[in-house]
């Protein structure tokens, strides 16, 4: 049985390089030789804390869910993808049969299998398998790093869609980390005529400013004017930012909560929500976003290569996690598997 | 100058019967001889506390904004309403020129003039004037009491619209006061196949049950199952009910906050909002609802006459307020002006 | 191998009673003993003409797709339905994997298998099998005839949804056959305050009138006023009716074309569509409507038992087709299989 | 009484230079010194044929409705615009009181007063007056020619909005005249990942290609694949193009008819509309689009200066009309008034 190299998080939260059998695709799956994997805040959180909310690392877990690669083998019933295809991997495969799946909201499927979410393994490995519908071909013009970042870009596509970002929008994004930056980039590509990013981290604001966005240092610059943004996307999970986000929203506009707060219960000004008839919602991953995200990068409407700040090999996955943890101003650290 | 009788709330929160000049309509206004006026919780609140949030009774104020009557005179440019028309009075007249007005959201007009909201007088009077577009003709088959209740029924029409109540909906309404009951009635008339009302007041629940709704005694009956309602309308303003409402909402559904909480800041489970991608919104009055509300009563789709529990004359307006205050289980007290 | 009785349409368009093996359910299917089957215009059309557009009866075909029954056996992976359940059968099973299925529009699946559409057999048989997700349990209070009519009622639910029929709507339905009547009934249950049906058949109009709808005899009564309906549903397929429907639509409203015209190309007033910014759309079957349709009948919001005009046994299926063909004023003929 | 120069179309369809009194603004109006006016196909049509559908040139008429200028005087109640402001003029002023105005669809106001539409005069004049809400300030960075072209750009903004053009869209625009090109530019700025323009005019296609769009020569290139575009905008008014547009639309997508056909009645494939559940609609001018259009040009998301092909003085308005008539490949001819 052929073996591959993997990087694994143990239950004692150590990261180890090991070997493991190469997974074989079932009838509707494809096998992919992994090329690039982005490090996400959730990977760091599992490594540091061993859990995210109800998801607990009780056994060995392969991290990494922002991944790209090349198809190396396909199952007997696969029709949409071929060996040799370069693909962006959509890391959550829903059941396909429940009510949420049938109405088209597969991200809310209660039985979704999502990479690097206990007990489902992720992509810090030489090979992964996935249902063919979740291996999205990308053009040759797209790098594997970019193809890996289609995953966080999908978060931005989904958030902008929920927020009704459309031509003419004035958009506020609170939190200038990678997700906030990607939301801002999608907003601009959607016709937003003004995009403002807030953060407390001056390095992140500098990066945002260099990308052409208006920036606002939370708690230092004068408060954002009330009711001034027609779409608001909250990406920090910070309680103050959530309240700022709601107060900055124009009447009848949408406030999308993307960032996860440390505690699920948060105090919000419902008198403002009522008095302006705001729509406060949240995102849980995304659905049907990969073709759009791939198209936005391919067409040049969104540039994402400028997020990559550092790269490591698969054997150095722990260093990659450590780098991302220590340098939040480095927007995206990539593990290049091969 | 002809005089009329009015009932007025003084700055010291006494209710007095007085006389005052009969108002004359301007070019686009109509003069209406008031017939019936419903007592609303907000009237009681002003009478008891002298304020609602930022609105303070600093001067004499005529209460009452749920009103009907007969047109007695029309301005020189009035074309839609004629003397003798029986009308339901829509009590908030927006500016007509601001951004909110122009996009069709006139309830969010910052310059709206709303009856019985300081410093704008209400309808506990023999005569009122209003812009012709806000005097809605009702058929002869509709009583003046019913025509007055078109106002709170409008709240229900607006809430159900925001909540996407449509055929097949399973609707939860928290709070079985007059607004909750009217929301439930509109929900049923919108094709909801299940409508559940919650309250702590057993008398209100009995009334709701007699109208054919499923009822649930908050804190006594076993908790409502999570994710079980496809539309949720919160009408109590109670913090526990707000949280119950959010937890009972099915994935991707809308939770509409109609009831005003005692404090504007409320702690809510945003992890639930995010994990289910709920839409939490609120209502501020209503817009374009009068023709619909009148049509629902005229067609028989909604019965509202069963809400009227007691009636008083204009001279007894304070007793009417007192009755409504002491007997929350009496859904609607009416002041019959003439 | 156990045998059952079936009624079959031969390629020479004769209807014959035969025996055939009883179908066995696969892992996710259920086997159903058929109880009631409604005769649809499409059944009559296949019987009379041997084809509907691109669908041609080239081989034996079992007709009937409006069906109900009792579950008699379930496949090994079935979890939602149990033996003994009384069910309404949703007769079109999509592939579940294509783009349309994944976004929730399974009625547009190009690979749907639909009862009584060549070469897929229908329900004029003692037993059928179907995917468990398409066997919808109904309460004991619902008759098997009613459960069979959930199928055409679904057409009405889907049409009203597309037409944005909501509380306050003024709805025009052109064509007072069974589908038009069911659209009208759903419209009323959705809060429409005015529902008008047109037809040339005076018997159908009498039936519609007896159900409480406003009726209009096309070509005899004075023309319907332009722009007077806020939602329009065309159920006749008649070219004049299509034009009447468009002209009667209020600005910015939706015109839903449900009836199939004899020829696919129809001349329409696009200047009216443009000048009023109408939305002209059509329906192709329905999606996600069964739970709603079942709920509307169960709750009493829609009565459908009054459509049943005549019943026949399975051996008399051809008489049932003949009856329905000769008596269009008889809204629904049912084949009672057992 | 001060006089100004105007260019006027007489009832005998001659264009003459004359003098006329300078109009004074009423209380809520502003007076504007006109700077640039674009020549529109409708101007040419009035000049050539004396009518467009029901609108007939029965008296002298000043043409021109794509206009910009500088505010020279304001009425007593004007608050939003000041003398000296550089403005784009929105040429249609609705009544503000009818149902369509109140619900926010002011473009469908039956009493709208629209520049250069008999009997309302247009902007081929040194001065015009207009309601302050329809004089939109533009930044100094925007030229007067660009500010004039905000009008046709608004048509593109409105069409893309109706067509649901959003990130990831694959858009077909039939007709590569100025309106088609502007629709295509807005589509790209809205995140469309593919924009194809069709025309029969090779010069127009060359211009479109030079702007980065995919082009398709109607009737020469192989037919467009069926179902391949997720949004379709028809800008030619050509019957063949209308049918091509419908057939090219993906399931459940929108087809927006912007171009006016020579005859109001057009034969369309309703079997395709039904079988794919398409939404066919049209546009009548636009509403609430000026701020968005100005923002798109100001932010650089849309470049419109490349449409200007030739300029003339006010005294040469007839030559400007003649130029535009003879050279359809010249996308936009401008009359520079001062």
Q: State the 10-residue block means of pLDDT for chain B, 338 residues long.
A: 94 95 98 98 95 92 98 97 98 96 97 96 98 98 98 98 98 98 98 98 96 95 94 97 97 97 94 98 98 98 97 97 94 96
Q: According to the model, what pLDDT value does residue A54 have?
A: 86
Q: Name residue, tokens 């509202």.
A: B304
pLDDT value of position C17: 97
Q: Other CB atoms closer than 10 Å to residue A316's CB: what's the count?
A: 17
Q: Show the tokens assigned to B257.
A: 């906050």
Q: How far apart are CA C68 and CA C63, in angstroms?
A: 14
* Distance from the B196 Cα atom to the nearest Cα atom in chain D, whole angstroms: 32
- Measure CA B26 to chain center: 27
In this prediction, residues C142-169 reach a mean pLDDT of: 98
Average pLDDT value for residue range D156-168: 98
The answer to whether the Cβ–Cβ distance between A267 and B271 falls below 8 Å is no
Say if strands C3-9 and C15-21 run parallel, antiparallel, or are unpaired. Answer: antiparallel
Return the pLDDT at D219.
86
Structure tokens at C188: 């009323």
Q: Distance between terminal CA atoms of chain D?
A: 21
Q: Looking at the complex, does the CB of residue A84 fall below 8 Å from at least one CB of chain C?
A: no
Whole-number average pLDDT of chain C: 97
D326 touches chain B (CB under 8 A): no
Q: Closest chain C residue to A100 measured between Cα atoms?
A: C104
* Whether C298 and B186 lie within 8 Å, measured CB to CB: no
Residue D1 has pLDDT above 80, yes or no: no
Which residues are CB-neighbours of A157 under 8 A, at least 6 positions away?
A: A186, A286, A289, A292, A293, A296, D167, D168
Q: Does D139 touch chain C (CB under 8 A)?
A: no
Using the 8-state DSSP alphabet, how is residue A45 labeled?
H
Q: Which residues pair with D73 in a beta bridge?
A: D31
Topology of domain A157-282, CATH: Rossmann fold (3.40.50)
pLDDT of residue C54: 86
- C191 in B contact zone (CB under 8 Å): yes
Asked if the Cβ–Cβ distance from A257 to B274 is below 8 Å, we say: yes
Of residues A96, A103, A105, nearest to C96 (C-beta): A96
SS3 for A199?
strand
pLDDT digits (tens, 9 = 90+) for C69-124: 999 999 999 999 999 999 999 999 999 999 999 999 999 999 999 999 999 999 99
What tens digit of pLDDT does each residue of C157-215 get?
A: 999 999 999 999 999 999 999 999 999 999 999 999 999 999 999 999 999 999 999 99
**B27, B102, B291, best to mutate vs chain D, most D CBs in 10 Å:** B102
C-alpha–C-alpha distance, residues D7 and D123, integer Å = 9
Distance between alpha carbon B101 and the CA centroid of its chain, in Å?
Answer: 21
Partners of D131 in beta bridges: D29
- Name the residue of chain D whose CA is nearest to B132's CA: D97
Sorted by sequence, the CB contacts under 8 Å of residue B301 that are 6+ apart come out as B189, B295, C167, C188, C191, C193
SS3 state at D87: strand
CA distance from start to end of chain B? 21
DSSP secondary structure of D199-250: ES-HHHHHHHHHTT-EEEETTTSPPPPTT-EEEEEE-S--HHHHHHHHHTEE
With CB atoms and an 8 Å threshold, state whether C97 touches A288.
no
Q: Which of D108, D268, D283 sits opposite C268 (nearest CB)?
A: D268
B96 Cα to chain D: minimum distance (Å): 7
- The answer, yes or no, to whether residue D158 has pLDDT greater than 90, is yes
Cross-chain residue pair A97–C288, CB shorter than 8 Å: no
Chain C: residue nearest D234 by CA?
Answer: C274
Q: Tell me whether residues C276 and D284 touch, CB distance under 8 A.
A: yes
Per-residue model confidence (pLDDT) at position C338: 84
Question: Contact B264/A271, CB-based, under 8 Å?
Answer: yes
Question: Is the minimum CB–CB distance between B230 and chain C shorter than 8 Å?
Answer: no
pLDDT at residue D338 tops 90: no
Question: Which residues of A66-111 form beta strands (DSSP E)?
Answer: 66-74, 86-89, 92-93
**What confidence score (pLDDT) does residue B53 get?**
85
| pLDDT confidence band for D105 (50 / 70 / 90) | very high
* Residue A266 in contact with partner chain B when CB distance is under 8 A: yes
Instruction: Calculate how close chain A gets to B162, using CA atoms only, in Å.
Output: 10
Can you give the pLDDT at residue B124? 98
Residues of B in contact with A246 (CB under 8 A): none
**Residue A100: which of B100, B251, B270 has the nearest Cβ?**
B251
Q: B194 to chain C: which residues are within 8 Å by CB?
A: 295, 299
For residue A208, name the pLDDT band (cuts at 50, 70, 90). Answer: very high
Inter-chain CB proximity A277 and B272 less than 8 Å: no
CB contact under 8 A, A301 and D186: no
- At the topology level, CATH places domain B3-149+304-336 in Quinone Oxidoreductase; Chain A, domain 1 (3.90.180)
* Residues in chain D closer than 8 A to C107 (CB atoms): 277
Put simply, whether D283 touches C (Cβ < 8 Å) is yes
Which residue in the block uniquely carries the two structure tokens 């190309």? C265
pLDDT of residue A219: 86
Distance of CA B169 to the CA centre of its chain: 23
Burial of D269 (0-12, 13-18, 19+ CB in 10 A): middle
Peptide bond into D296 cis (omega under 30): no
CA–CA gap between residue B102 and residue D109 (Å, rounded)? 12
**Is A186 within 8 Å of chain D by CB?**
yes
Q: Which two tokens stand for residue A36?
A: 């690039």
Name the residue facing D104 among B96, B103, B133 (closest C-beta).
B103
In a mutagenesis test of the B interface, which of D95, D99, D100, D104 is the best target, namely the one with the most B β-carbons within 10 Å?
D104
Q: How distant is the Cα of A102 from the closest Cα of chain C, in angstroms?
A: 5
Please list the alpha-helical segments (H only) found in chain A.
41-49, 99-102, 144-148, 150-162, 178-189, 202-210, 239-248, 270-275, 290-298, 317-326
Which residues fall within 8 angstroms of residue A186, CB to CB, at 6 or more apart? A153, A156, A157, A159, A160, A165, A296, A302, D167, D191
- For range A70-74, the mean pLDDT: 98
Question: What pLDDT, on a 0 to 100 scale, did the predictor assign at position B194?
Answer: 97
Backbone angles phi, psi at C85, to 5 degrees: -65, 135
> In what helix (H) or strand (E) does residue C55 lie, and over which residues does it extend?
strand C55-56
Please check whether residue A162 touches B, CB under 8 A.
yes
Within an 8 Å CB–CB cutoff, is residue A80 touching chain C?
Answer: no
Domain boundaries, chain A: 3-149+304-336, 157-282
In this complex, the residue of D97, D104, D133 whose CB is nearest that of residue B104 is D104
The three-point CA angle D123-D125-D127 to 5° equals 90
Q: Which of B97, B102, B133 sits opposite D104 (nearest CB)?
A: B102
Chain B residues near residue D96 by CB distance under 8 angstroms: 96-97
Q: How distant, in Å, are the alpha carbons of A95, B157, B294, C192 from that of B189? A: 36, 10, 13, 9
pLDDT band at C1 (very low <50, low <70, confident <90, very high): confident
* Listed residue (A179, A276, A258, A254) closest to B270, CA to CA: A258
DSSP B117: B
Least confident interval from B219-228, C316-325, D305-314: B219-228
> CB–CB of A270/A286 below 8 Å?
no
Task: Name residue, tokens 């929350």.
Answer: B328
Contact A193 D157 (CB under 8 A): no
Q: Would an 8 Å CB–CB cutoff place B108 in contact with chain A? A: yes
Q: Decide if B299 contacts B275 (C-beta within 8 A).
A: no
Strands (E), B235-307: 249-257, 265-269, 279-282
Give me the total of CB pairs closer than 8 Å, taking one residue from chain A and one from chain B: 108
Taking all residues of chain A, what is their mean pLDDT, rounded to a whole number? Answer: 97
Q: Both ends of chain A: CA-CA distance in Å?
A: 21
Could you count the other beta carbons within 10 Å of the beta carbon of residue A114? 18
Question: How, if at all, do strands B29-38 and C92-93 pair?
Answer: unpaired
Is B252 in CB contact (< 8 Å) with chain C? no
A186 vs C241: CA distance, rounded Å: 46
Residue D61 has pLDDT above 90, yes or no: yes
CB atoms within 10 A of CB B238: 21
> Is the pLDDT assigned to residue A1 strictly greater than 80?
no
Predicted TM-score (pTM) of this structure: 0.97
Do B193 and C295 make contact, defined as CB atoms within 8 angstroms?
Answer: yes
Percent of chain C with pLDDT over 70: 100
């Amino acid at each position: 049985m052929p073996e591959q190299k993997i990087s694994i998080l143990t239950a004692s939260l150590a990261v180890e390089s090991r070997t493991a059998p190469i997974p074989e695709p079932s009838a509707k799956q494809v096998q992919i030789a992994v090329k690039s994997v982005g490090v996400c805040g959730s990977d760091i959180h599992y490594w540091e804390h061993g859990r995210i909310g109800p998801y607990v690392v009780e056994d060995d877990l392969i991290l990494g869910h922002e991944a790209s690669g090349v198809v190396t083998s396909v199952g007997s019933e696969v029709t949409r993808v071929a060996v040799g295809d370069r693909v962006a991997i959509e890391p959550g495969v829903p059941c396909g049969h429940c009510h949420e799946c049938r109405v088209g909201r597969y991200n809310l499927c209660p039985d979704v299998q999502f990479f690097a979410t206990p007990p489902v393994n992720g992509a810090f490995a030489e090979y992964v398998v996935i249902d063919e519908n979740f291996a999205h071909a990308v053009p040759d013009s797209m790098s594997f790093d970019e193809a890996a970042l289609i995953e966080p870009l999908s978060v931005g596509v989904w958030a902008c869609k929920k927020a009704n970002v459309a031509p003419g929008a004035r958009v506020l994004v609170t939190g200038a980390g990678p997700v906030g930056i990607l939301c801002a980039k999608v907003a601009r590509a959607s016709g937003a005529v003004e995009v403002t990013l807030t953060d407390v981290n001056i390095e992140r604001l500098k990066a945002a400013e260099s990308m052409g966005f208006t920036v606002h240092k939370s708690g230092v610059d004068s408060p954002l004017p009330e009711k001034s943004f027609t779409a608001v996307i909250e990406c920090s999970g910070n309680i103050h930012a959530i309240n700022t986000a709601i107060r900055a929203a124009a009447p009848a506009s949408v406030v999308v909560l993307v960032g996860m707060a440390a505690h699920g219960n948060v105090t919000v000004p419902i008198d403002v929500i009522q008095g302006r008839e705001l729509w406060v919602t949240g995102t849980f991953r995304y659905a049907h976003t990969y073709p759009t995200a791939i198209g936005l990068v391919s067409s040049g409407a969104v540039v994402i290569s400028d997020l990559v700040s550092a790269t490591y090999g698969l054997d150095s996955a722990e260093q990659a996690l450590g780098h991302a943890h220590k340098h939040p101003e480095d927007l995206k650290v990539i593990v290049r598997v091969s």
